[in-house]
Structure 1
Amino acid sequence: MDVLSSRVLVHPRDPDVTTAFYRDTLGLAVYREFPGGTVFFLGGGFLEVVGRGSTGPGPDVALWLQVRDLAATLADLREKGVEPERGPRREPWGLDEASIADPDGTRIVLVEVPSDHPLRVDVRP
């Protein structure tokens, strides 16, 4: 398989509320809008809010969003009325993580990679 692009699709119960959450509350940049949907930039990928869902998210799926400064991101979100479902903590794998949820309950893991984490170490000789 030769994958050229990818995106995560979210089918919200209320498309207007969920689109506003990702656009206005999280401040994600819009990549594309079309009748019935909006596609947002997610770093190296995309998030598409499209159609209408009825069952809500499953507990085994989450969006993983790396941010530059987790504390500042959480402070900004609190000012906008978004409280973390789980506050920031250093995980056993060395990443600083917290989680929030979108209006339908989709878990969003916010991640900061510490400066001394192996993901930031230059392994070139």
Structure 2
Amino acid sequence: MTTSPQTVHQQIIDTLIDDPILAMLGFDHRTIGEERTGHNPRLVVSWADEWYGSASEFLGTVTIEPVGTDDRTRTAVLDRVEQALAALRAGRPIMRVRRSGGHRSSTFHVLARGAPCEAGAMPVLAGRDQR
């Protein structure tokens, strides 16, 4: 049986799910993903509203946002998200991880590079510049 390649989005989610520190903070397969509803607190991982593509690859921004947490937990979670994603940052698929609005911000923006087949998993209105 052949398995399809894992999307960048799923790699990010799986990396966060597998992180033992995030698990100790209460984040696991039930609370990390695209859904904003359900268990609280949650770590919402979603495509931002703008991405750019070519025939061979695309660049997109994934937003990672803790919801349903107090400020202290949010800070600890975001610090750990940055560390957990460091392994994926070595050139591909993640090019850059930064907090939107500085260190105290409540969300992360992750510039990710992937294959064109992953664009189908992104929001339809997200494609702003396809070449």
TM-score range, shorter chain: 0.3 to 0.5
- Normalized per residue, the structure richer in helix is 2
Normalised to the residue count of structure 2, the TM-score between the two structures is: 0.34
- The structure whose Rg is larger is 1
Higher relative contact order (CA 8 A, sep 6+): 2
